[in-house]
Amino acid sequence: MYDTRTDVSLKPRDLAVAHLLLRLLIGVNFFNHGFTRIGNIPGFVEQTVKTLQGSYFPEPLVRLNAYLVPIIELVVGVLIILGLSTRIALIVTSALMVMLMMGVTSVQKWEIATSQLIYGIVLFALLATCRFNWFSFDNWLQRKHRRVDVSERSDEVLSYRDRS
Does 58 reside within a domain?
Answer: yes
- Asked if the structure places residue 150 within a domain, the reply is no
- Rounded CA separation 138/68 (Å): 26
Within a domain: 79: yes
Provide the 8-state DSSP code for 130.
Answer: G
Contact at 8 Å (CB) between 57 and 106?
yes
Among 127, 107, 105, 128, smallest CA distance to 115 is for 105
Each residue's pLDDT, cut to its tens digit, for the chain (164 residues) gives: 565 666 668 899 999 999 999 999 999 999 999 999 999 999 999 999 999 999 999 999 999 999 999 999 999 999 999 999 999 999 999 999 999 999 999 999 999 999 999 999 999 999 999 999 999 999 999 998 888 765 665 555 445 445 44
Asked whether residue 140 is assigned to any structural domain, the reply reads no
* Domain assignment present for 164: no
- Domain presence at residue 144: no
97 inside domain: yes
Nearest to 129 by CA among 26, 7, 30: 26
Domain that holds residue 74: 12-134
Q: What is the CA radius of gyration of the chain?
A: 22
Q: What is the reported pTM?
A: 0.84
Domain count, the chain: 1
Is 123 part of a structural domain of the chain? yes
